Amino acid sequence: MKDLVRTYVGLLAGPVVLLVAYFTVPVGWFGPHHPRISWTAFGVLLAVLGAGVLREVRMQVLGQSRHPVPRILVLLCGALVVFSTAYLAMSKEPGELDGLVTKVDALYFTVITMATVGYGDIHPAGQAARIVVMIQLLYTVVFLTTGVTALTRQVKTRAVQRARHREQRDDRR
């Protein structure tokens, strides 16, 4: 029971902490005035998130992960925060992202891009913004799809285990 409570606390706490940090931490270090810091932080954070997803998938394949949902949800929220911060930083450069002004705009654009919906109210106009959008789309397809596949595999495995357990219980009667 304690393990289950810890799992659901992590499920709620991780994304909340990331989103609170996103909305409260200033992003003055990032943007066109600090390109080396911006691109380095962007690349390192995406690599860390990607490694986290790959680690979770590996643990799933080896059957070592009991509760992947909180970790994958935190990784997903981490990706949202990283891309939102990148878009917000790029919006400081005129002509990069038309229509993006606030942190909410950046988060909205990130979610819309991740969902591959694209309403057109905010759109990448500059080359750097278009490159980051392409990176986000590739990141979403490769890493997040891999994470969702791992979750689906776990759900399927647990369903099969429960069905076997029920069959064994019914056979004993």
Instruction: Tell whether the model's pLDDT for residue 107 goes beyond 90.
Output: yes
Q: What is the pLDDT of residues 11-57, one digit of tens each?
A: 788 888 999 999 998 887 788 788 898 899 999 999 999 898 888 87
Q: Tokens for 29?
A: 């270090």
Please state, in angstroms and rounded to a whole number, the distance separating the CA atoms of residues 144 and 75.
9
> Domain 2-172's class?
mainly alpha
Residue 173's pLDDT band (cuts 50, 70, 90): low
Closest CA to 76 of 17, 154, 140: 140
- Looking at per-residue pLDDT, the higher value among 70 and 131 belongs to 131
Sketch the domain layout of the chain as residue ranges: 2-172
Query: Chain-centre distance of CA 80, in angstroms?
Result: 5
Burial pattern 69-85, b for ≥16 Cβ within 10 A else e, equals ebbbbbbbbbbbbbbbb
User: Which range among 104-108, 117-121, 122-126, 161-165 shows the weakest confidence by mean pLDDT?
Assistant: 117-121
Instruction: Tell whether the model's pLDDT for residue 166 goes beyond 90.
Output: no
Which residue's structure tokens are 């929220």? 77
Structure letter (DSSP) for residue 116: T
Instruction: Tell whether the model's pLDDT for residue 104 goes beyond 80.
Output: yes
Burial pattern 32-60, b for ≥16 Cβ within 10 A else e, equals eeeeeebeebbeebbeebbebbeebbeeb
Residue 78's pLDDT band (cuts 50, 70, 90): very high
Instruction: Tell whether the model's pLDDT for residue 150 goes beyond 70.
Output: yes
